[in-house]
């Protein structure tokens, strides 16, 4: 069965393509290559033994999307990753984010409108802001977004709920990711940040390999066990498997129109704990300094994942040490084999 994977050459998309093949699906990748590398297609072939179907496509081009949908009409489902996702950049360039993240979503939904398709949306724990109660559950109040990026996720979820309510034929699940990190166990695919990494773990691995002089811990005076921020880090392979579980859930007749799931481990780790976990997993000593808190950071967030375990029949299996060692293996691989 064909599953369209938009943004399928990206970090989470590429890992999801592998898990779709492992589950017997036939993924079709579309990607505009604005934040991904075409060579990931060759890397995927090395892992799965075949080159998945790929179309370079700008999802903001309505006619091109319509033409694509005419060519690839018989899909069983769509997993929609394609979006800009840098929080800081979204504050500086909100129009770029609203234009891209909404037009791409709306064009793909319109192109297959009316067809009984299963649709998985890549959402984010960012919608919760700083939860009042931890761990945060899916029925926690969605707070005012702290960035245009987070706002695009919140509004997109509302668009999807309205579509299902209108009975257009789509069945939809929104997956609220916590913090995806790590890399495939083959070290052939992983995170490819553009320029200076904004996220913690790619910055750690680049510091470990010597590309960055030291890590700055953004604040250690928070109301947490060691003063640094707490997040729910999840291995990207576990996250990828959650997308396959969501497709399978929607294939069941019992599934009704729309649902939302927290995709995390249910455990929180502080920045300093992640640094320590990396050193213990890899034997590499890291240099870091404490800097000022980063604007927009929430103090602590981790997910209640009981609904995903019970209803999505999915649970994260890989631990923080495996997340760190796999991220390190990937960093060493691309140092030797630049893409």
Q: Tell me which residues are annotated as active site.
A: 149
Distance of CA 336 to the CA centre of its chain: 26
Nearest CB to ligand WQD, comparing residues 1 and 155: 155
Ranges within 241-270 binding ligand WQD (CB under 6 A): none
Among 9, 87, 245, 260, binds ligand WQD (CB under 6 A): 87
Distance CA 200, CA 216 (A): 9
Please identify, among the stretches 45-53, 112-120, 199-207, 303-311, the one whose residues bind ligand WQD according to the rule CB under 6 A: 199-207
Count of residues near ligand WQD by CB under 6 A: 19
| Distance in Å from the first CA to the final CA of the chain | 31
| Contact predicate 43/82, CB 8 Å | no
Nearest CB to ligand WQD, comparing residues 75 and 192: 192
217 forms part of the interface with ligand WQD (CB under 6 A): yes
Nearest CB to ligand WQD, comparing residues 247 and 263: 263
59 forms part of the interface with ligand WQD (CB under 6 A): no
Please identify, among the stretches 30-38, 61-69, 211-219, 320-328, the one whose residues bind ligand WQD according to the rule CB under 6 A: 211-219
- Kindly give the pairing relationship between strand 258-263 and strand 171-177: parallel
Contact partners, residue 73, CB within 8 Å, separation at least 6: none
**Which CA distances in Å does 17 have to 3, 43, 47?**
9, 12, 11
Among 3, 44, 200, 244, binds ligand WQD (CB under 6 A): 200
Which residues are bridge partners to 118 per DSSP?
A: 77, 171
124 forms part of the interface with ligand WQD (CB under 6 A): yes
239 forms part of the interface with ligand WQD (CB under 6 A): no
146 forms part of the interface with ligand WQD (CB under 6 A): no
Cis peptide before 166 (omega within 30 of 0): no
Nearest CB to ligand WQD, comparing residues 141 and 291: 291
Tokens 């773990």 — which residue? 201
Is 139 in a helix, a strand, or coil? Answer: coil
Is 319 in a helix, a strand, or coil? Answer: coil
- Binding residues for ligand WQD, rule: CB under 6 A, are 85, 87, 124, 126, 177, 179, 198-200, 203, 215-218, 229, 231, 271, 294, 297
């Amino acid at each position: 069965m064909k599953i369209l994977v938009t943004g399928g050459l990206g970090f989470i998309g590429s890992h999801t393509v592998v898990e779709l093949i492992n589950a017997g699906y036939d993924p079709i990748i579309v990607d505009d290559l604005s934040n991904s590398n075409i060579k990931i297609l060759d890397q995927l072939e090395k892992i799965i033994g075949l080159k998945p179907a790929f179309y370079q496509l700008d999802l903001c081009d309505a006619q091109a999307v319509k033409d694509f949908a005419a060519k690839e009409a018989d899909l069983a489902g769509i997993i929609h990753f394609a979006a800009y996702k840098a929080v800081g950049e979204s504050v500086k360039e909100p129009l770029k984010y609203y234009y891209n993240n909404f037009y791409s979503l709306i064009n793909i939904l319109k192109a297959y409108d009316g067809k009984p398709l299963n649709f998985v949306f890549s959402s984010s724990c960012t919608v919760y802001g700083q939860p009042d109660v931890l761990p945060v559950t899916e029925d926690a109040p969605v707070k005012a977004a702290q960035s245009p990026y987070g706002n695009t996720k919140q509004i997109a979820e509302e668009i999807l709920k309205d579509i299902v309510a209108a009975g257009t034929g789509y069945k939809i699940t929104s997956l609220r990711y916590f913090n995806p990190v790590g890399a495939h166990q083959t070290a052939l695919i992983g995170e490819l940040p553009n320029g200076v990494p904004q996220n913690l773990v790619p910055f750690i691995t680049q510091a470990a390999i010597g590309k960055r002089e030291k890590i700055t811990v953004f604040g250690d005076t928070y109301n947490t066990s060691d003063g640094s921020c707490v997040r729910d880090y999840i291995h990207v392979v576990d996250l990828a498997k959650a997308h396959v579980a969501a497709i399978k859930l929607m294939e069941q007749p019992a599934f009704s129109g729309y649902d939302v799931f927290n995709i995390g481990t249910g455990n929180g780790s502080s920045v300093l704990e992640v640094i320590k976990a990396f050193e213990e997993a890899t034997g590499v000593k890291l240099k870091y300094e404490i800097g000022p808190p980063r604007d927009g950071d929430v103090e602590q967030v981790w997910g209640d994942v009981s609904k995903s375990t019970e209803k999505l029949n999915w649970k994260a299996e890989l631990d923080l040490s495996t997340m760190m060692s796999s991220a390190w293996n990937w960093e060493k691989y691309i140092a030797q084999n630049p893409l």
